[in-house]
Amino acid sequence: MTTGRGEPSSRRRTNWISLVLFALAGVLFVIVAVLYVRDQLEDDPTPPPPPHEPGRAQLVNVVEALRDEGLKVEYARQGVRIPGLGAAGQGLTVEGTPLYVFLFDSPETRESEVGALGDDDLILLSTQGTPVSAGPLRAVQGSNVFAVLVGGSDDLFARVDAAIARLP
C-alpha cells in the first residue's frame, strides 16, 4: 500500500514543470514569429542584378549602368535588327527616348560585326522588316554592347555613352 503523501507533491511538481516548459515554448514561438516577420519586411523586393564577367554584359547590366547615370529606364517590348549584325536589338526607353541594345558574345565579335557596317548601313528594322527609326540614329559601343539611340538630346546621348563606356 502507498500513502497519499508522496503522490500529490510529485504531481504538483510535474504539473509545474509542464507549465513552465509550455510557457517557454510559447515565448520561443513568439520570438521566432517576430524575427521571421521582421526579416520578410526588410527584404528588398528586387534582387540585385547578377554579376557579369568583363565583356559579357547582359541587358540588366546595361539598365543598371543607365540608372547609375541618373536616367529613367524602362523595358520596351519592341525588338529590332540591323542588316549585317548577327545580334538582335532589345528595346529600352531612356527618358522617353528609344534605345536599342545589341549584345554580342564578346567585345571582339562586336568590333568585327559593327566595324563591317558602313555609315549608310545603320538602318533599324522591325522583326517584320519594316523601318522603325523616327529620328536621327546615334550609336554608342563598349564592352560587348552596341546601342542605338533614336533621337534625344546631346546631353542624353552623352549620358548613355558614359554608361555604356563604363561596362567592363
DSSP 63-118: HHHHHHTT--EEEEEEEEE-TT-SSPEEEEEETTEEEEEEE-SSHHHHHHHHHT--
- Contact between residue 116 and residue 146 where contact means Cβ atoms under 8 Å apart: no
Judge: domain 59-165, CATH 3.40.30.
no
Phi and psi (nearest 5°) for 7?
A: -70, -45
Query: For residue 4, is pLDDT > 60?
Result: no
Cα–Cα dist 31/139, whole Å: 57
Cα–Cα dist 145/106, whole Å: 9
pTM exceeds cut of 0.75: no
Mean pLDDT of 122-129: 88
CA distances from 159 to 72, 104, 156 (A): 12, 22, 5
pLDDT at 1: 47
Coil vs helix vs strand at 13? helix
Residue 40's pLDDT band, with cuts at 50, 70 and 90, is confident
Query: For residue 44, is pLDDT > 70?
Result: no
Task: Please write the tens of the pLDDT for every residue from 48-95.
Answer: 666 667 888 999 999 999 999 999 999 998 889 999 898 999 999 999
Q: Domain limits of the chain?
A: 1-43, 59-165
The overall average pLDDT reported for the chain is 87
